[in-house]
Amino acid sequence: MSTAYERVMARQRQTQILAGVSGLLGWDQETMMPKGAADQRAEQMGAMEELLHARRSDPALADGLAEAESADLDEVSRANLREIRRQVDHATKVPADLAAELARVTSRAQGVWAAARAADDVAAFTPMLEQIVALKRDEAAALSDGSAYDALLDQFEPGATGADLAAMFGALRPRLVALRDRIFGAEQHPEPLMGTFAEDTQIALARDVAERYGYDFERGRIDKAVHPFSSGSGSDVRITTRTDPADPFNCLYSTIHEVGHGCYEQGVDPAYAFTPLGHGASMGVHESQSRIYENQLGRSRAFTGWLHGRMTDLFGDLGMDADGFFGTVNRLQKGFIRTEADEVQYNLHVLLRFDLERELIDGSLTVAELEGAWNDRFEADFGYRPDRPSQGCLQDVHWSVGLFGYFPTYTLGNVYAGCLNEALRRDVPDLDSALADGDPSPATDWLREKLQRHGSLRTPRETIIHAIGGAPSEEPLLSYLEAKFGEIYGF
Amino acid sequence: MSTAYERVMARQRQTQILAGVSGLLGWDQETMMPKGAADQRAEQMGAMEELLHARRSDPALADGLAEAESADLDEVSRANLREIRRQVDHATKVPADLAAELARVTSRAQGVWAAARAADDVAAFTPMLEQIVALKRDEAAALSDGSAYDALLDQFEPGATGADLAAMFGALRPRLVALRDRIFGAEQHPEPLMGTFAEDTQIALARDVAERYGYDFERGRIDKAVHPFSSGSGSDVRITTRTDPADPFNCLYSTIHEVGHGCYEQGVDPAYAFTPLGHGASMGVHESQSRIYENQLGRSRAFTGWLHGRMTDLFGDLGMDADGFFGTVNRLQKGFIRTEADEVQYNLHVLLRFDLERELIDGSLTVAELEGAWNDRFEADFGYRPDRPSQGCLQDVHWSVGLFGYFPTYTLGNVYAGCLNEALRRDVPDLDSALADGDPSPATDWLREKLQRHGSLRTPRETIIHAIGGAPSEEPLLSYLEAKFGEIYGF
């Protein structure tokens, strides 16, 4: 006789496997799919979504889950049930017609947004965004009696609240603005890298660096995509990158970023395969891995020292020494676009979005007021004003596809990366000598043991606490940034 | 109020879409999947199969189908129900435990067969093949009270019978053997092509030729695979090829072969998308498209004349004139391996397998006797004897994966290609002048109109009858081969 827990898990196993199939459809769409197949693929994705939703909202599962939850279980079993409960609650609480309406509107909205951005026409997107905000508020109300924003945030960062994040981000913002101002006021600035860099060689370097970090090509692959992303879990974790002949850092650091996501998924304990624990704990924890790989490791003085030599071998003289190259890799530039921002300014872009989207969801800001609010806030933090909406409130796809509560996980990931870097450096004091040899694998080994292998066993915050041995805070990130950029810019 | 027919079709639409997802998993497995993901992929394929089987064997579908069949319907609707009936019958007649046992045994058998072939050890594969033959006989008995072989054949070539094919193939065999003997007895033989041919250039040529035939890269793509295949339907039809630096014909003609399959799928009327009519009518009809593209068109004097010029431009002097090149493309060589055989000898390989597999299924040949029977028959048709089983009865994967009744569709496809070529040449008398300009698209236009666009509207044999305007026979193929090879070998 099987127990209720075993029956729930057997059923969940099939759901996880089918969710993996759905993930592969998404990967293929962005990398391999012929252009003309878009409509057919939408049908396939829709059919898989419908199927997964039916499995998660099946009353028989809810009954079995309630029975399983009433038994006395070990930590892993409790964690599995916690994650299944999240899926079941989401699938059953949001009415089917609301979910369908959201899917319909956000699907249309992507095209409307893209056209509005291309035409710099906020008004063309405003009615669409008003609909989406209204639907997301309905969704939040269906999910929870409490804060609407928290209900949305919880889908990406379980357990986090807008209030907690606002407190943490409130401590970040003034010190980031002050650091930014000191940097732009400094007397000396690193030089940009000039030249043309063969794209095949960039890809070869990216593959080499991915392997040095510990990414396993036997269980993964790398392809090109317009917007790099990572995909999959277990023994099939794929990453993507892009190349720009004028900027080899674009390919290299977007690869390292995705390698962080990929190593996390590849590092999860194989015993969790096909269970809800078999993937990263949250968007924030995932971003902590991609960002520590990219920034605290990949943009460190030690690793860029090795990289300077390697790139000189591959591309010829770079026109600077290793010390100058370290500055070049980390140099700040003024700009309007989040995705092009450096380590210091990136979080200022995110905090702006976090504050504005909370106001949109709680109703204290209307969509009609968004552009003005965006530009005012941008000017307050950056000192200059976007001159057109494609440089401002129309730059990101997120809201058009209904992603509210997603942006803050970027900065939370950076904060977590700061905490993890502090603990890593404490536990692996000679890490810099390995990095200087082009070997970041001791960092992957430490992260795998402390964090990656545990998958979703613990809640996101507990995952970080377990890894660093204490409560996370913004202080390590700020100290790290102030020290690093003080050194580069000479203050 | 929807009708029973509409309800069945709405349900079938989702099944077709999910079957397409399953197909993409297969394509990815052979082209993109990281090696280490094989077990995970097997789970995904198994989950999708289980899902599709559950949909097809659902008693509610059988009830709705029976109701729909009782109504007065048009040709397209009747054809849809005919195809759904086939799926339902197969899913419901074969007991679940037999289907599972077949899946389990054939999955294991592939590895056993590969090892046995590598070791030239027939005895290592015999017990496995005995199990498979027994299970296929059980499957046939579950499917039909009639001929066991016909029940298996019907899964690949609906409506065909072993007896009908035996009569047709019986007329082919002596004239093919006689033709083969005259060719090897001829005084002059074409020269082989010598040299090394850059693989990138081979792929570029293959892509160019694919487009010339009418293959649409907006709805398809080409990748490398160990064993070239085509995959998908509707607006996402993908083909694969391979390259050998010493043999540019390998890449080129395997591409043209798959382009034939691909153009068929791309050519089906879009109105049939997501219905049972939205793909090729059978394995035999499919093979008629791949073979007429490859042989009657691609290996014609007219097209090879153009190809000689194109390849000279790309690779430099080929060491022969266009006339010699036509012979080279079509030259016969002695050999043991079906997949390497030319137009004349290929069908002799297939007929051997067809006769032996019928005897295995009807019990008049035991698996223990297979190797001897194979070698005797091979010697009778080819004049020499395989010296080891990897050159003989262990060379093909088909039986190890349970494919009985599949081999004859290859030769049936060649016979159909002969019939179609005769009708095509009658209707498009100036085709050779287009081919001589490197333009086979008038042939695709004719095939699209007469055959491809109709998908599975008609039964396979009716599909051919509709296209050629009469009953198919082996005569056009034989006349074509005798004329062409008589010209090349000078008799």
Cα–Cα distances (Å) from A164 to A161, A291, B246, B342, in that order, read 5, 21, 67, 73
Distance between the two ends of chain A, CA-based, in angstroms? 70
Say if CB B339 and CB B347 are below 8 A apart.
no
**Segments of chain B scoring below 70 in pLDDT:** none
Residue A467 in any domain: the answer is yes
Judge: A36–B236 Cβ closer than 8 Å, yes or no. Answer: yes
Judge: A43–B274 Cβ closer than 8 Å, yes or no. Answer: yes
Judge: B34–A236 Cβ closer than 8 Å, yes or no. Answer: yes
Residue with tokens 């033709």: B179
**A274 φ/ψ angles, rounded to the nearest 5 degrees:** 60, 20
- 3-class secondary-structure state, position A222: strand
- Across the interface, of A21, A32, A221, the residue whose CB is closest to B25 is A21
- Determine the residue among A14, A24, A31, A274 to mutate to test chain B binding: the one whose Cβ has the most chain B Cβ atoms within 10 Å: A24
pLDDT at position A96 is 87
Cα angle: B179, vertex B181, B183; to 5 degrees: 70
Closest CA to B39 of A27, A235, A134: A235
For A395, the enclosing helix (H) or strand (E) is none
Judge: B32–A32 Cβ closer than 8 Å, yes or no. Answer: yes
Give alpha helix (H) positions in A363-489. 370-382, 407-427, 431-436, 441-450, 460-468, 475-489
Would you call A182 an interface residue with chain B, using a CB distance cutoff of 8 Å?
no
Into how many domains does chain A fold? 2
Mean pLDDT of chain B: 97
Pick the catalytic residue from B83, B139, B258, B265: B258
Would you call A36 an interface residue with chain B, using a CB distance cutoff of 8 Å?
yes
Residues 350-369 of chain A with CB under 8 A from chain B are none
One domain for residues B82 and B176 = no
Residue B102 in any domain: the answer is no
Residue B457 in any domain: the answer is yes
Chain B CB contacts of A235 under 8 Å are 34, 36-37, 39-40
Would you call B21 an interface residue with chain A, using a CB distance cutoff of 8 Å?
yes
Give alpha helix (H) positions in B233-321. 248-267, 283-291, 301-315
One domain for residues B334 and B420 = yes
One domain for residues B62 and B180 = no
Tell me how close the Cα of B221 comes to any Cα of chain A, in angstroms.
Answer: 7
Chain B CB contacts of A21 under 8 Å are 21, 25, 44, 47-48
pLDDT tens digits along A62-112: 999 999 999 999 999 999 999 999 999 999 999 988 998 998 899 889 899
Question: What residues of A act catalytically?
Answer: 258
Rounded Cα–Cα distance for residues B469 and B423 (Å): 8
pLDDT at position A107 is 85
Judge: B236–A37 Cβ closer than 8 Å, yes or no. Answer: yes
Residue B111 in any domain: the answer is no
pLDDT at position B107 is 85
Judge: B217–A273 Cβ closer than 8 Å, yes or no. Answer: no
Active-site residue, B258 included = yes
Q: Which residue of B has its CA nearest to A38?
A: B235
Residue A279 among known ligand-binding residues: no
Residue A287 among known ligand-binding residues: yes
Would you call A200 an interface residue with chain B, using a CB distance cutoff of 8 Å?
no
pLDDT at position B187 is 93
**Upper half-sphere CA count for residue B72 (Cβ side, 13 Å):** 0
Cβ atoms within 10 A of the Cβ of B43, count? 18
Residues 234-253 of chain A with CB under 8 A from chain B are 234-236, 238
Tell me how many residue pairs between chain A and chain B have CB atoms under 8 A apart: 95
pLDDT at position B1 is 73
Domain end among A39, A65, A93? A93
pLDDT tens digits along B37-67: 999 999 999 999 999 999 999 999 999 999 9
- 3-class secondary-structure state, position B299: coil
Would you call A11 an interface residue with chain B, using a CB distance cutoff of 8 Å?
no
pLDDT at position B483 is 98
One domain for residues A182 and A240 = yes
Residue B112 in any domain: the answer is no
- Both tokens of A372, joined, read 């003005």
One domain for residues A204 and A295 = yes
One domain for residues A68 and A153 = no
Would you call A41 an interface residue with chain B, using a CB distance cutoff of 8 Å?
yes
Residue B211 among known ligand-binding residues: no
For A26, the enclosing helix (H) or strand (E) is helix A4-31
DSSP A190: P
Say if CB B304 and CB B483 are below 8 A apart.
no
Q: Which residue of A has its CA nearest to B50?
A: A14
Residue B108 in any domain: the answer is no
Say if CB B179 and CB B481 are below 8 A apart.
yes
E strands present in B79-211: none
Rounded Cα–Cα distance for residues B354 and B6 (Å): 41
Would you call B313 an interface residue with chain A, using a CB distance cutoff of 8 Å?
no
Domain end among A46, A65, A93? A93
- Determine the residue among B11, B40, B45 to mutate to test chain A binding: the one whose Cβ has the most chain A Cβ atoms within 10 Å: B40
Cα–Cα distances (Å) from B372 to A81, B220, B378, B393, in that order, read 60, 44, 10, 9
- Both tokens of A115, joined, read 């056209």
- Across the interface, of B28, B48, B217, the residue whose CB is closest to A34 is B217
Rounded Cα–Cα distance for residues B277 and B83 (Å): 8
Judge: B220–A33 Cβ closer than 8 Å, yes or no. Answer: no
Q: Residue A5: which residues within 8 A CB-CB, separation 6 or more?
A: A68, A71, A73, A77, A81
**Upper half-sphere CA count for residue B186 (Cβ side, 13 Å):** 19
Domain end among A93, A126, A149? A93
DSSP B240: E
- Both tokens of A1, joined, read 């006789």
Q: Report the C-alpha dihedral over residues B159, B161, B165, B166, rounded to 10 degrees.
A: -170
Domain span holding position B35: 4-93
Q: Which residues of B378-388 are buried (b: 16+ CB within 10 A; e: fewer)?
A: beebbeeebee
Chain A CB contacts of B35 under 8 Å are 218
One domain for residues B129 and B86 = no
The CATH number assigned to the domain holding B177 equals 1.10.1370.30
Cα angle: A301, vertex A303, A306; to 5 degrees: 110
Would you call B188 an interface residue with chain A, using a CB distance cutoff of 8 Å?
no
Rounded Cα–Cα distance for residues B259 and B265 (Å): 10
- Determine the residue among B43, B44, B45, B49 to mutate to test chain A binding: the one whose Cβ has the most chain A Cβ atoms within 10 Å: B43
One domain for residues A114 and A138 = yes
For chain A of 491 residues, list the mean pLDDT of each consecutive stretch of 10: 93 96 95 94 92 94 96 97 96 91 90 95 97 98 97 97 98 98 95 97 98 98 95 97 97 98 98 98 98 98 98 97 98 96 98 98 97 98 96 96 97 98 98 98 98 98 98 98 97 91
Would you call B224 an interface residue with chain A, using a CB distance cutoff of 8 Å?
no
pLDDT tens digits along B80-124: 999 999 999 999 999 988 998 998 899 889 899 999 999 999 999
For A224, the enclosing helix (H) or strand (E) is strand A222-224
pLDDT tens digits along B258-268: 999 999 999 99
One domain for residues A36 and A148 = no
Q: What is the CA radius of gyration of chain A?
A: 23
One domain for residues B60 and B128 = no
Q: Residue B383: which residues within 8 A CB-CB, separation 6 or more?
A: B181
Q: Which residue of A has its CA nearest to B219?
A: A36
Would you call B17 an interface residue with chain A, using a CB distance cutoff of 8 Å?
yes
pLDDT at position A1 is 72
- Both tokens of B224, joined, read 């490398």
Would you call B429 an interface residue with chain A, using a CB distance cutoff of 8 Å?
no
One domain for residues A338 and A482 = yes
- Across the interface, of A24, A28, A235, the residue whose CB is closest to B36 is A235
Residue A101 in any domain: the answer is no
pLDDT at position B211 is 98
One domain for residues A131 and A196 = yes
Residue A99 in any domain: the answer is no
**What ipTM is given for this predicted complex?**
0.94
